[in-house]
Chain A
Amino acid sequence: MRYLFLLNRTVDALPEPGTAQAAEMFAAYMEVTEAMAKAGVLVDSAPLTPTAAATTVRVRGGQTLITDSPAAEIKEYLGGYTIAECADLDEALRWAARIPAASDASVEVRPIVAARPPT
C-alpha cells in the first residue's frame, strides 16, 4: 500500500534558504527521509510552497472556477492526491479541472518546492 503523509506545519512560511534555520530544518528532514529511503519505503518527499501560492479549482455546470488560495469556507475532507509534472500553472489547472474531485468538491493545486535548500 502507498501512503501520502500530510506534513502539517505551524508556520505557513518556509525558512529563508541559506539561513541556519533552513539548514537545521533540512538536516532534520533528511535524517528521516534517508532512513525511509534506506528502508525502501520512500516514494517521494518534498515541502510545499506557502498557501499564498495555492490555487483552488472547482468545476460547476461545465464551467471551471478558479480561485486564489485554499478553499476555507466549505467543509471538505482530503480524499486523495496526485503529483503531476506540468509546464506551468495553466497546464496544472487544466489537469486539475479534469479530476472528478474538482466537480464534487474542489482540488487545491499546491506547487511543490522544486529545489531543496542547500545544507
Chain B
Amino acid sequence: MSARLEALVRAHWWRAVASVTRAVGGDLGLAEDAVQEACAAALAQWPASGTPANPAGWLITVARHKAIDRQRREARRNEKEVAAMTEPPGAPGQAARDPDDELALIFMCCHPALDPATRIALTLRCVCGLPTAEIAATFLVPEATMAKRLARGKAKIRDAGIRFHAPTDGELRDRLPAVLRVIYLVFTQGHTASAGDALVRGELCDTAIGLAREMDGLLGGEPEASGLLALLLLTDARRAGRTDAAGNIVLLEDQDRTCWDRGLIADGEAILERALRAGRPGPYQLHAAIAACHSTAPAAAATDWRQIALLYTELIRYEPTPVVEANRAVAVAMAEGPAAGLVILDAISSHPQLQRWPQLHIARGSLLARLHRVHDAMAAYQMALQLELPAAEQAFIIKRIRQLQEAH
C-alpha cells in the first residue's frame, strides 16, 4: 500500500475522528473504529478510483455513515430510543472544518481524570492515528498491553461522563498545561528513548511537532502553545548533531553546529518572539528561550550561560523541582565556574528523586572532573551507571571514566 496514501489518510485523522465523535454524540470509541474502517476503505478504493478532490470530506462522510449505522443497530438491539439519532447535516465532501471539535477531541484524550500514560496513548491513537502496534513499540510494551490501555481509556471516558465539548475559557486555562504536557512527552519519547538503542525516533518527534503546530493554530497563538512549538522546533533543529555515525551520543558542546537545521531554528525563534510579545510568560516559553540560547550560539564557547542561568531562575517559579534546580546549577557552573555550580548541586543532591536521576550524577561528575577531583568524579559517573540509561548514554559515561583513568 502506498505510503503516500497512508500519510494522506493520517493527515486527516484528527479532523475526521473529531467530526465523527461530534456526530455520534461523543462516543470516541465508536468514532475511532469508524474512521479506521473508512481509512481502510480509502486505501483499498483510492488506488483504483483515484483520490477524491476532498479526501477529508470523503473520509468523514464514510466514517460518519458507518458510525451512525452501527449506533442505530446497537440501539435497536438494546431496544432504546432511536429517534434522537438523526443524520447530521452536511453533503458529502463538504464537511466544514471545525476547530472547536478538534480542540474538544484532544482535550478529551488529555482529560486529567485519565491516567497520564493513557492520555499519551489516546492522543497518539485518536488524534494522530498511530496504529496500536506502533504506540506499543514506542513505549516498549506488548501490543496487547497497549490495546488494553486504550480500551480502558475509552471506557473511562464513556462510563465516567467525560463529555466531548470545546473547552471553555476557564477549562482552557486549567487544562491546557495537561494537553501541552502530553505533546511534550511524545516529543521527548521520540527524542530520547528511556531505554533501548534508538536514541532518536524521528517520526515521533515529527508527530509531536505536528501536534504542537496544530494546537498553536487552533488556539490562535496562545503564548504557551506557541512556546511549546518553539521549544520543539529549536530542540529538533539539533537532531542531526545529537548522535555520531555510530549512533553514539554527542554532547551539545561537541556537536557539529553546521549540521543544525538553520531553517527550523529561525522558525522557532520567530514563533518564540511572537509568543513573548503577548507578555504572558510561562514554562514552555522559558524552556524555548533556553533552547534558543543554545541553538543560536555560533559556538559552544559563545553560549550565553549567564542568560540561561537567569532563565532557569525564572523557570523555578513555575516548576519548583530539583531537576530544574540541577539544570540551573550547570548553567551557573558554566557562567561562574564549576565550584559555584557544585555548591548548588550538592545542596539538592540528597533529594531522593534526584538520586535516581542519572543526569545529576553525570553533571556532578563533570563538575568534579573540571575541579580535578578525579576520584570523586569517577565515583559520580559510577553512580550514574547503576541507573537505567539508554545504551548511547551508557557508552558515553564509560568513555568519560576511561578518559579520567588515562589522564590520572
Which residues on A are within 8 Å of B, measured CB to CB? 17, 49-50, 52-55, 64, 66-69, 86-90, 92-93, 109, 111
Q: Are A53 and B160 in contact (CB under 8 A)?
A: yes
Q: Are B159 and A55 in contact (CB under 8 A)?
A: no
Cβ-Cβ contact count across A and B, 8 Å cutoff: 47
CB-CB under 8 A from A92, the residues of chain B are 161
**Shortest beta-carbon distance, B244 to chain A, in Å?**
41
- In the complex, B323 has a CB within 8 A of chain A: no
Q: Are A88 and B161 in contact (CB under 8 A)?
A: yes
Complex Cα distance, B156 from A66, in Å, reads 14
Complex Cα distance, B114 from A50, in Å, reads 15
With both beta carbons as reference points, the residue of chain B lying nearest to A56 in the complex is identified as B113
CB-CB under 8 A from A55, the residues of chain B are 113, 160
Complex Cα distance, B152 from A44, in Å, reads 29
CB-CB under 8 A from B156, the residues of chain A are 52-53, 68
Q: Are B118 and A111 in contact (CB under 8 A)?
A: no
Q: Are A89 and B163 in contact (CB under 8 A)?
A: yes
- In the complex, B171 has a CB within 8 A of chain A: yes
Complex Cα distance, B112 from A90, in Å, reads 10
Given A49-B160, A55-B160 in contact, is the A89-B155 Cβ separation under 8 Å?
no
Q: Can you report 26 residue pairs joining A to B where beta carbons are below 8 Å apart? A: A49-B159, A52-B155, A52-B159, A53-B155, A53-B160, A54-B160, A55-B113, A55-B160, A66-B112, A66-B113, A68-B113, A68-B114, A68-B115, A68-B156, A69-B115, A88-B162, A88-B163, A89-B111, A89-B113, A89-B160, A89-B162, A90-B162, A90-B163, A93-B113, A109-B160, A111-B161
Complex Cα distance, B115 from A54, in Å, reads 11
With both beta carbons as reference points, the residue of chain A lying nearest to B163 in the complex is identified as A88
Complex Cα distance, B110 from A66, in Å, reads 12
Complex Cα distance, B78 from A69, in Å, reads 29
CB-CB under 8 A from B163, the residues of chain A are 87-90
Q: Are B171 and A90 in contact (CB under 8 A)?
A: yes
Complex Cα distance, B161 from A53, in Å, reads 9
CB-CB under 8 A from A87, the residues of chain B are 163
Complex Cα distance, B152 from A70, in Å, reads 15
Complex Cα distance, B165 from A66, in Å, reads 19
Within 8 A of A (CB), among B63-81: 78
Complex Cα distance, B14 from A11, in Å, reads 37
- A-facing mask of B148-188, CB < 8 A → 1, else 0? 00001001100111110100000100100000000000000
**Shortest beta-carbon distance, A71 to chain B, in Å?**
13
CB-CB under 8 A from A69, the residues of chain B are 115
CB-CB under 8 A from A53, the residues of chain B are 155-156, 159-160
Among A55, A68, A86, residue most surrounded by chain B Cβ atoms (within 10 Å): A68
Complex Cα distance, B165 from A49, in Å, reads 23
Complex Cα distance, B159 from A54, in Å, reads 9
- A-facing mask of B121-134, CB < 8 A → 1, else 0? 00000000000000
With both beta carbons as reference points, the residue of chain A lying nearest to B119 in the complex is identified as A68
Complex Cα distance, B162 from A87, in Å, reads 10
Q: Are B160 and A111 in contact (CB under 8 A)?
A: yes
**Shortest beta-carbon distance, A100 to chain B, in Å?**
21
Complex Cα distance, B114 from A24, in Å, reads 33
With both beta carbons as reference points, the residue of chain B lying nearest to A64 in the complex is identified as B174
Complex Cα distance, B152 from A61, in Å, reads 31
With both beta carbons as reference points, the residue of chain B lying nearest to A110 in the complex is identified as B160
Among B114, B159, B160, B174, residue most surrounded by chain A Cβ atoms (within 10 Å): B160
Question: Which 4 A-B pairs have CB atoms at the shortest separation, nearest pair first?
Answer: A88-B163, A53-B159, A66-B112, A55-B113
Among A54, A89, A111, residue most surrounded by chain B Cβ atoms (within 10 Å): A89
**Shortest beta-carbon distance, A116 to chain B, in Å?**
13
Kindly identify which residue among A52, A66, A89 contacts B161, using a CB–CB cutoff of 8 Å. Answer: A89
CB-CB under 8 A from A86, the residues of chain B are 161
- A-facing mask of B207-240, CB < 8 A → 1, else 0? 0000000000000000000000000000000000
- A-facing mask of B98-124, CB < 8 A → 1, else 0? 000000000000011111001000000
CB-CB under 8 A from B115, the residues of chain A are 68-69
**Shortest beta-carbon distance, A41 to chain B, in Å?**
30
With both beta carbons as reference points, the residue of chain B lying nearest to A87 in the complex is identified as B163
CB-CB under 8 A from A90, the residues of chain B are 162-163, 171
**Shortest beta-carbon distance, A50 to chain B, in Å?**
8
CB-CB under 8 A from A111, the residues of chain B are 159-161
